[in-house]
Amino acid sequence: EDQVTQSPEALRLQEGESSSLNCSYTVSGLRGLFWYRQDPGKGPEFLFTLYSAGEEKEKERLKATLTKKESFLHITAPKPEDSATYLCAVQAGGGVSKLIFGTGTRLQVFP
Q: Name the site residues for another protein (rule: CB under 8 A).
A: 4, 31-32, 34, 41-46, 49, 87, 89, 91, 96-99, 101-104
- Give the nearer residue to another protein in terms of CB position, either 78 or 107: 107
What would the 3-class secondary structure string for the chain be?
Answer: CCEEEEECCEEEEECCCCEEEEEEEECCCEEEEEEEEECCCCCCEEEEEECCCCCEEEECCEEEEECCCEEEEEECCCCHHHCEEEEEEEEECCCCCCEEECCCEEEEEEC
Shortest distance in whole angstroms from residue 89 CB to another protein = 8
- Give the nearer residue to another protein in terms of CB position, either 32 or 83: 32
Shortest distance in whole angstroms from residue 42 CB to another protein = 6
- Give the nearer residue to another protein in terms of CB position, either 18 or 97: 97
Shortest distance in whole angstroms from residue 38 CB to another protein = 8
